[in-house]
Structure 1
Amino acid sequence: MRYSQLFGKTLKSAPKEAEAVSHKLLVKGGFIDRQLSAGIYSYLPLGWRVHRKIENIIREEMNAIGGQEVFLPTLQPRELWQKTDRWEKMDP
């Protein structure tokens, strides 16, 4: 697929709310969209492609040493977050 046909486009300037250099570069390059919450981003096609490639590299290396893969739920009970004092610290 040609770059001109991708869903995400590059930006000339970084978003004002972006503080980290890596965040600015990823948004400007069309890899991620805006930050939804602390540490939560929407991946655009290029960013998701990079994510999958890194995931596959890690999976291959883990398989080579006999590692096992787990999948944890995205939604977790409130009590777990309260127990570690993270419930009030996270943005909605």
Structure 2
Amino acid sequence: MRLSRYFLPILRETPKEAEIASHRLMLRAGMIRQEAAGIYAFLPLGLRVLQKICRIVREEQDRSGAVEMLMPTIQSADLWRESGRYDDYGKEMLRIKDRHERDMLYGPTNEEMVTEIFRAY
């Protein structure tokens, strides 16, 4: 598809909340749109760039013999309690209960999940 056919909302002015150079550039170039604090939507050009970066990383991983894994975003709070990091993130960590009233959380990192996977084998 030609770039001229993309939805590309270029900004003339730099948003004042954008302090980091890369953030300013991505906003102005129409790659991302901020929906709320820390929450961004990838617009067509931004998504295309992200996909290209992912492809390059995968090619380099393949070349080095590494394999990719995909971890769940929602994780058991029990793993985080066991690691001692459950309270480290404070109130900023999104904590929820599943339909069985088990404590879950939105995992900001995946060390606990990876450790649990390898411990199982």
Shorter-chain TM range is: 0.7 to 0.9
**Greater C-alpha radius of gyration:** 2
SS at match of 1:76: strand
Equivalences for residues 76-91 of structure 1 within 5 A = 76-78=75-77, 80=80, 83-89=86-92
Cα distance, 1:57 vs structure 2: 0.6
Cα distance, 1:34 vs structure 2: 1.0
Structure 1 stretches of at least 4 aligned residues deviating more than 4 Å after TM superposition: none
Cα distance, 1:83 vs structure 2: 1.2
Q: How many residues align?
A: 90
Segments of structure 1 that go 5 or more residues without pairing to the other structure are none
Query: Aligned equivalents of 1:52 and 1:7: distance in 2?
Result: 17
Aligned twin of 1:19: 19
In structure 2, give the amino acid aligned to 1:18: A
Sequence identity percentage: 40
Structure with the bigger percentage of strand: 2
Query: Aligned equivalents of 2:7 and 2:74: distance in 1?
Result: 28
Give the alignment's TM-score, normalised by structure 1. 0.78
Mean Cα deviation higher: 78-87 or 59-68:
78-87
Segments of structure 2 that go 5 or more residues without pairing to the other structure are 95-121
SS at match of 1:12: coil
Give RMSD over aligned pairs: 2.4
Mean Cα deviation higher: 15-24 or 60-69:
15-24
> Which structure has more RCO (C-alpha within 8 Å, separation ≥ 6)?
1
Give the alignment's TM-score, normalised by structure 2. 0.62
Equivalences for residues 1-92 of structure 1 within 5 A = 1-38=1-38, 40-78=39-77, 80=80, 83-89=86-92
